[in-house]
């Protein structure tokens, strides 16, 4: 039996002038121990779906079954208890600014009525797991984004959940910190057997950590399967757009931002741009390239058109600079 099972799940939002069907007849099964990615473009319905899983949004129709229990048949008290076993991690951390790290981790346990002595012991264990022992007395304003997300992960683990729902949990982080957080989640899954559902619009997140993936497009479940199968052989237009296998569709994802890369002779013989495309899964268009040999070394420059998505732009630029290239924005005539 699946740990999470969605059957004909539909969610409709009503406005004064119209009804918007955010989710349409979603059927999805997530097994115990999975790291399951749910991916789609902005506005596809991903966040609505994850909020329906724990009934923060009540579906218009269809059923949500967790660990064999239909959430529609639970009262408010039963749902509150269920949410202790279905924790959630958000994009912007949602930490209590007036509490330090220990206080933030303790909060969920206080709500659950766990005695103070047990809370303190649990906090020590969680601080060790997320690598924040030395930051226990710090407040959120004293922490980096990655450290704040580690606090949020520790808080999510505080009630010994069976499931963790991550709603764009790495979208506000730089690429290096994103990798660290994903590695931490993977280790938590391995050590504790917690089922993790990751909502994201980044293919690189799914590919690096997830075992299975579902692609949401305009409220419809377009494609599901093992990550390597879906990414190697996408069947639907929605999957191809996300994976950049359909050049015609992918072209529309490119924006107006252009950058110039300057190669200084050391990096010019290395496939840095190809590695960036492969590792960051960022679609670029080469507008101009020029190389020449000076003193036995190759020097040159390249002008790239970047995606419209700002996060993808930042990841591409960070990767290129991290690999020793000079990167500068160009406007007007690129060369």
Q: So what's the pLDDT on residue 265?
A: 61
Q: So what's the pLDDT on residue 62?
A: 95
The answer for residues whose C-beta is within 8 angstroms of residue 53's C-beta and 6 or more apart is 4, 6, 64, 66, 86, 165, 197
Q: Which range has highest mean pLDDT (116-125, 224-233, 295-304)?
A: 116-125
Single pTM value for the model: 0.73
The larger pLDDT score, comparing residue 314 to residue 150, is at: 150
The larger pLDDT score, comparing residue 245 to residue 273, is at: 273
Q: For the chain, which residues make up each domain, given as ranges? A: 4-239, 253-330
Sheet containing 61-66: give its strands across: 19-30, 4-14, 61-66, 69-70
For 75-112, write each residue's pLDDT tens digit.
998 998 888 899 999 888 889 999 999 999 999 899 88
Which CATH superfamily does the domain covering 253-330 fall into?
A: ACT domain (3.30.70.260)
Between the CA of residue 222 and those of 49, 112, 219, 234, 269, what are the distances in Å?
14, 38, 9, 10, 41
Give the pair of three-digit tokens for residue 296: 């036995």
DSSP H stretches of helix in the chain: 46-53, 76-82, 101-111, 116-130, 145-157, 175-192, 203-209, 227-232, 237-243, 247-251, 272-280, 310-322
4-239 and 253-330, same CATH topology: no
For β-strands 4-14 and 61-66, DSSP reports them as: antiparallel
Give the pair of three-digit tokens for residue 50: 């994850």
Which residue(s) pair with 21 in the sheet? 12
Across the chain, mean pLDDT equals 85
- Give yes or no for residue 259 having a pLDDT over 50: yes
Section 221-234 average pLDDT:
84
Q: How confident is the model at residue 294 (pLDDT cuts 50, 70, 90)?
A: very low
For 44-71, write each residue's pLDDT tens digit.
888 899 999 999 999 999 999 999 999 9
Residue 112: alpha-carbon gap to chain centroid: 28
Q: Which fold has domain 4-239?
A: Rossmann fold (3.40.50)
DSSP, residue by residue, 41-59:
-TTSSHHHHHHHHTTSS--
Q: How confident is the model at residue 244 (pLDDT cuts 50, 70, 90)?
A: low
Give the pair of three-digit tokens for residue 278: 């492969």
For 175-222, write each residue's pLDDT tens digit.
888 889 999 999 999 999 999 999 998 877 888 889 899 999 999 999
C-beta neighbour count of 278 within 10 angstroms: 11
């Amino acid at each position: 039996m699946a740990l999470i099972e969605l059957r004909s799940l539909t969610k409709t939002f009503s406005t004064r002038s119209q009804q918007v069907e955010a989710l349409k007849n979603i059927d999805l099964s997530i097994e115990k121990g999975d790291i399951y990615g749910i991916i789609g473009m902005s506005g596809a319905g991903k966040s609505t779906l994850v909020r329906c899983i724990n009934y923060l949004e009540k579906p218009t129709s269809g059923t949500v079954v967790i660990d064999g229990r239909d959430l529609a048949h639970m009262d408010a008290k039963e749902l509150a208890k269920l949410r202790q076993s279905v924790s959630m991690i958000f994009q912007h951390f949602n930490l209590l600014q007036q509490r330090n790290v220990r206080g933030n981790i303790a909060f969920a346990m206080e709500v659950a009525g766990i005695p103070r002595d047990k809370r303190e012991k649990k906090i020590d264990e969680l601080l060790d797991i997320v690598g924040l022992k030395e930051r226990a007395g710090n407040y959120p304003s004293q922490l980096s984004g990655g450290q704040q997300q580690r606090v949020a992960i520790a808080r999510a683990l505080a009630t010994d959940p069976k499931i963790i729902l991550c709603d764009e949990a790495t979208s506000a982080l730089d690429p290096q910190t994103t990798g660290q957080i994903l590695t931490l989640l993977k280790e938590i899954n391995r050590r504790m057997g917690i089922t993790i559902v990751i909502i994201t619009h980044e293919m690189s997140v799914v590919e690096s950590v997830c075992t299975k993936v579902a692609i949401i497009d305009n409220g419809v479940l377009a494609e599901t399967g093992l990550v390597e199968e879906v990414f190697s052989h996408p069947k639907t237009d929605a999957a191809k757009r996300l994976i950049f296998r359909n050049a015609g569709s992918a072209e529309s994802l490119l924006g107006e931002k252009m950058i110039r890369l300057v190669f200084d002779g050391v990096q010019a013989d290395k496939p840095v741009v190809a590695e960036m495309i492969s590792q960051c899964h960022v679609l670029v268009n080469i507008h101009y390239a020029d190389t020449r040999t000076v003193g036995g070394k190759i020097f040159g420059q390249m002008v790239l058109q970047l995606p419209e998505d700002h996060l993808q732009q930042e990841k591409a630029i960070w990767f290129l600079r991290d690999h020793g290239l000079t990167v500068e924005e160009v406007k007007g005539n690129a060369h």
